[in-house]
Amino acid sequence: MTRSSRSPLRLLASLGIEHPGEIDVEAIAFSCGATVVYEPLQGCAGRILGYEDRAIITVDSDCSRARQRFTAAHELGHWLRDRGSVSQFSCSQQDFVLSWGKEDPERRANRFAAELLLPEPMFRRDAKDRELVFDSVRELADVYETSLTSTAIRLVKLGSFPGMIVCNERGAGRWRWFVRGPLVPDSIWPVDRPGRESVAFELLNDVEPGGKEVVPVSAWVEGDGLDRFAVHEDTLVVGRYVLSLLWWRDESHLLSILEGD
């Protein structure tokens, strides 16, 4: 396989894969010279051991099926980027949560996995007109057999509504990462910690179980005079992290915020 054909979409097309149910990550990896095996792992969610044009990807057998699929695809991303030079690589569960916020090999492997398991043409079709809430995320995650985090990020990027996802960690000083959708301007920047009016504030302080609410924009976005504007928030806990989906019904609401109208 040439380097130019290693993109996820090219790979899927070369194998004739057109529907989510056909995305067999083990078979795809095998076609690339990598064999996926499952066994209990300590201290990591997955690892890859390669030599020349062959590799063994080991995935933690104790993880959920969605996590196993993403881990296998993530390790395959490492393999295809450095095929012939990778000798050994391991990734922790934390890598899969935190590595969406910085440009490094882990984020590139995360992106490869998301594009392989949640390919843009299929996902855009299935995500069309779905609200940017975790109910939508769960339904899509069931179809694609993917994790909530990766599916939520994909919905932010490829869905029908302007929005963003923010990851906070209990006990941390500020958000760990955030991802904007393409309709959200770069000037929209999350505050270091969500305000008291947010659902996330309650979850970070073990007050409430989370859920959906319309909250003041000022609880989430940096800037003056934003308390008179609103944003839809849906927040849940994933381990020690708190994930928040923030979205607007249409771009006019964002323009009002930017223009102060």
Residues near 49 by Cβ (< 8 Å), separated by ≥ 6?
55, 56, 58, 87, 88
How far apart CA 179 and CA 166 sit, in angstroms, is 7
Residue 9 contacts by C-beta under 8 Å, 6 or more apart in sequence? 115, 119, 120, 121
Provide the 3-class DSSP secondary structure of residue 59. Answer: strand
Q: How far does CA 251 lie from the centroid of its chain?
A: 23
Segment 48-74, tens digit of pLDDT = 988 888 999 999 999 999 999 999 999
| Cβ-based neighbours of 144, under 8 Å, separated by 6 or more | 20, 23, 117, 118, 123, 151
For the segment 162-167, the average pLDDT, to the nearest whole number, is 97
| Structure tokens belonging to residue 246 | 């923030």
The enclosing H or E element of 246 equals strand 241-247
Rounded CA separation 34/65 (Å): 19
Q: How far apart are the first and last CA of the chain?
A: 54
pLDDT, tens only, 201-245: 989 987 766 789 999 999 999 888 788 899 999 999 988 899 999
Q: Of the ranges 131-135, 142-146, 251-255, which one carries the lowest mean pLDDT score?
A: 251-255
- Give the pLDDT of residue 84: 53
Model pTM score? 0.87
Average pLDDT over residues 71-100: 68
Who's near 167: CB < 8 A, 6+ residues apart? 97, 98, 100, 101, 175, 176, 177, 178, 241, 242, 243, 244
pLDDT at 127: 98
DSSP letter (8 states) at residue 22: G
| Residue 229: strand, helix, or coil | coil
Q: Domains of the chain: which residue ranges? A: 3-117, 161-259
Domain 3-117 classification at class level: mainly alpha
Q: Going by C-beta distance under 8 Å and a sequence separation of 6 or more, which residues neighbour residue 225?
A: 260
Residues paired with residue 46 on neighbouring β-strands, in sequence order:
59, 91
